[in-house]
Chain A
Amino acid sequence: MVNKIIIKELNLCFAKNHVLKNIDISIPEKLITAIMGPSGCGKSTFLRCLNRMNDLIEGTKISGSLLIDEKDIYSDSIDIFDLRKRVGMVFQKPNPFPKSIFENVAYGLKIHEIKDKGTISEKVEKALRDANLWDEVKDRLSSSALDLSGGQQQRLCIARALAVEPEIILFDEPASALDPISSARLEELLEELKKNYTIVIVTHNLQQAARISDWTAFLMLGELIEFNKTEKIFTAPQDKRTENYLTGKFG
C-alpha cells in the first residue's frame, strides 16, 4: 500500500478560529478514505486543504506539511491550477453549470487548452461512461444539465471532475442531497472509481462510511481522534470518543 497523501502537523485558522489542530494523517492510494465526525468538526475544511480551495477564503492561515506524491502542495513552486486539475472535487449539492450536459463535461478540458473537437468528444464520452451516466444521457447531450434529476446531476458533476483525468477525487458529502436510490447508485460508482483513483470522502452518514470506505478517520473539534482501517474503527475503536460517537451518544 502506497500513501498518496502524507500530512504532518497541519494547522489551519480562519481569522481567529483555530479550525484544524495538529493533524497527522497518511491517505493510501487507490482506496477510499472516509472522514467522519460531528457537524462543525472541520471535515470539509480539511478536505478543502487538499485542493487548496481554502485559499479562496480571505484570512486563512495554514501551517504544517501537506505532501501529495511527496511534493508539498503549499510550496511556492506548485502551480495551483495544475494541482486542482490533479485533485478533483465533487460538492455536497450537485452544482452543474447552466450549460448543456456535453458542455459541462467539456468545461475542464477547454480551460486546460484542449482544443481538438474529436479529442474532446472522446474524453467527454469516456468520463460520462465512467460516471455511469452515458446510457441515460447519450441521446440528449445538448440539452440543459439542469433538466437532469438530482442523482444524475451529481453523477454529471463526477463526470465533469473525471474528464480532466485527476489522480485524487475529493467528495464533500456527495450523497447528502440525494434520495436513497440515487445514493446507492453513487456508492456503487465510488466502488468502481477506486480502481483508478484515490478517493477521500467526507460524510456524516456512519453507515455510508462503514459500507464504502477502506480507511476511516474520525475528526472532532478540529482534532484527528482516530484513524484506522474501517473495520477496526467500527468494531474496535481505540478511543472512547470514537466509541461514543459510533454508538450515538452524541453526534
Chain B
Amino acid sequence: MTEGGIFPALIGTFLLSTGAILFALPLGVLAAIYLKEYAGAKKWVRIIRIGINNLAGVPSVVFGLFGLAIFVKLFGFGVSVLSGSLTLGILILPVIIRASEEAIDSVPSSFKEASFALGATKWQTIRKVVLPTALPGILTGAILSLGRAAGETAPILFTAATFYTRHLPESPFREVMALPYHIYALMTEGTKPEFQVPIAYGTALVLLLLVFAVNFIAIIIRSRMRRKRKW
C-alpha cells in the first residue's frame, strides 16, 4: 500500500468528478429551464423546489447507499467509475439546478422582450438569448460543484472506490482509486502505519490544492463575468 504513488487515485478522482459533471450539468440546466420558464407557479412546482432544496441537505453517505442500491445493484453497473459518477452527479444536481436558476433569473426581461418582439419563439429565445447570457453563472456553479464532487468520500465508498490498485480503469465499468478514499484507506487499513500516515497527509495536501485550484478558476470566471456585465 505504500508503493506506487497516488497517480491512479488522482486520475480516478478526475474521472469521477468529470463524469459527475457530464451527467449533472445537462440535467441540471434543463431542470432549471423547465422550472423557470415553463413550470409557472403551480403548487406541485413549489413541492419540487422544496424537494430540490432538501436534496442539497441530505448527508452524502445516504447518497452513497442510494447509489449502491440503484446503480451498483439494480442497474447492475457494479462498483465502477460509472456508478460513482452517477452517484456524485445526483449529489451535486441540486447545487447545479439552483445556480442555473439564479443565472437564468439574472437575465434581464428586456432581452427576452426584444427577442419576442422580433418574432422569436420561446425556445429560440431561451436557446439564443437566455442561455448564452446565463452561461457564465451556470459555469461558475458547475465548477464549484466539480470541486465538491472531487472531495467527497462517502458517495464513492460503496459505488466506485477501490482500496488499492496499480492500474487505471480500462472501462467505465471498472472500479478506481480516488484521492479522498485513498486517505481514508491509508489511515484505517494496512499494516505499516508509520509509513502510511505521512502518505495520507501528502495525499490530503494534493487533494486540498486540487479543490483550491478548481474553486480559484470559478472565482476568476465569476469576476470576469461581473466586469464584462454592463446591463
A and B held together in a complex: yes
Hey, which bits of chain A sit against chain B, CB under 8 A? Answer: 51, 53, 56, 81-85, 88-89, 91, 93, 95-99, 107-108, 110-112, 146-147, 157, 160-161, 164
> B129: CB under 8 A from chain A?
yes
Within 8 A of A (CB), among B118-133: 118-121, 124, 128-129, 132-133
How many angstroms between the C-alpha atoms of A208 and B18 in the bound complex?
Answer: 59
Q: Are A111 and B114 interface neighbours, CB within 8 A?
A: no
B118 — which chain A residues lie within 8 A by C-beta?
84-85, 88, 107-108, 111, 160-161, 164
Q: Are B120 and A160 interface neighbours, CB within 8 A?
A: no
Measured CB to CB, the nearest residue on chain B to A89 is B117
How many angstroms between the C-alpha atoms of A243 and B108 in the bound complex?
Answer: 39
* Chain B contact residues, majority secondary structure: helix
Interface string of B131-145 (1 = CB under 8 A from A): 011000000000000
What are 25 of the A-B contact pairs (CB < 8 Å)?
A: A53-B116, A81-B121, A84-B118, A85-B118, A89-B117, A95-B113, A95-B114, A96-B114, A97-B114, A97-B129, A98-B111, A98-B132, A98-B229, A99-B132, A107-B115, A107-B118, A107-B128, A108-B118, A108-B119, A110-B128, A112-B119, A146-B231, A161-B117, A164-B118, A164-B119
Within 8 A of A (CB), among B68-116: 108, 110-111, 113-116
A95 — which chain B residues lie within 8 A by C-beta?
108, 110-111, 113-114
B231 — which chain A residues lie within 8 A by C-beta?
98, 146
How many angstroms between the C-alpha atoms of A93 and B133 in the bound complex?
Answer: 19
In angstroms, how far is the closest chain A Cβ from the Cβ of B216? 25
> B230: CB under 8 A from chain A?
yes
- Supposing A85-B118, A161-B118 touch, asked if A91 and B113 sit within 8 A by C-beta, the answer is yes
B230 — which chain A residues lie within 8 A by C-beta?
98, 146-147
Q: Are A85 and B114 interface neighbours, CB within 8 A?
A: no
How many angstroms between the C-alpha atoms of A96 and B108 in the bound complex?
Answer: 11
Measured CB to CB, the nearest residue on chain A to B114 is A95
How many angstroms between the C-alpha atoms of A88 and B230 in the bound complex?
Answer: 25
- Supposing A98-B231, A111-B119, A146-B231 touch, asked if A157 and B114 sit within 8 A by C-beta, the answer is yes
Measured CB to CB, the nearest residue on chain B to A163 is B118
How many angstroms between the C-alpha atoms of A160 and B114 in the bound complex?
Answer: 9
How many angstroms between the C-alpha atoms of A39 and B38 in the bound complex?
Answer: 33
A164 — which chain B residues lie within 8 A by C-beta?
118-119
B108 — which chain A residues lie within 8 A by C-beta?
95
Measured CB to CB, the nearest residue on chain B to A104 is B114
In angstroms, how far is the closest chain A Cβ from the Cβ of B14? 33
The 7 closest A-B pairs by CB, nearest first: A85-B119, A95-B110, A84-B119, A89-B117, A108-B118, A146-B230, A81-B119
A112 — which chain B residues lie within 8 A by C-beta?
119
How many angstroms between the C-alpha atoms of A12 and B110 in the bound complex?
Answer: 23
In angstroms, how far is the closest chain A Cβ from the Cβ of B119? 4
Interface centre among A85, A88, A111 (most CB of B within 10 A): A111
How many angstroms between the C-alpha atoms of A122 and B121 in the bound complex?
Answer: 25
Supply 7 further A-B pairs (C-beta < 8 A) apart from A111-B118, A146-B231. Answer: A53-B117, A81-B119, A93-B110, A95-B111, A99-B132, A108-B118, A111-B119
How many angstroms between the C-alpha atoms of A120 and B195 in the bound complex?
Answer: 68
How many angstroms between the C-alpha atoms of A89 and B121 in the bound complex?
Answer: 16
In angstroms, how far is the closest chain B Cβ from the Cβ of A73? 13
- Supposing A97-B129, A107-B128 touch, asked if A91 and B114 sit within 8 A by C-beta, the answer is yes
Measured CB to CB, the nearest residue on chain A to B118 is A108
A93 — which chain B residues lie within 8 A by C-beta?
110
- Supposing A93-B110, A111-B124, A146-B231 touch, asked if A84 and B129 sit within 8 A by C-beta, the answer is no
How many angstroms between the C-alpha atoms of A111 and B126 in the bound complex?
Answer: 12
In angstroms, how far is the closest chain A Cβ from the Cβ of B224? 14
Interface centre among A88, A97, A110 (most CB of B within 10 A): A97
How many angstroms between the C-alpha atoms of A89 and B114 in the bound complex?
Answer: 8
- Supposing A97-B111, A97-B129, A98-B231 touch, asked if A111 and B117 sit within 8 A by C-beta, the answer is no
B120 — which chain A residues lie within 8 A by C-beta?
81, 108, 111
Q: Are A51 and B117 interface neighbours, CB within 8 A?
A: yes
B229 — which chain A residues lie within 8 A by C-beta?
98
How many angstroms between the C-alpha atoms of A169 and B221 in the bound complex?
Answer: 39
A88 — which chain B residues lie within 8 A by C-beta?
117-118
In angstroms, how far is the closest chain B Cβ from the Cβ of A147? 8
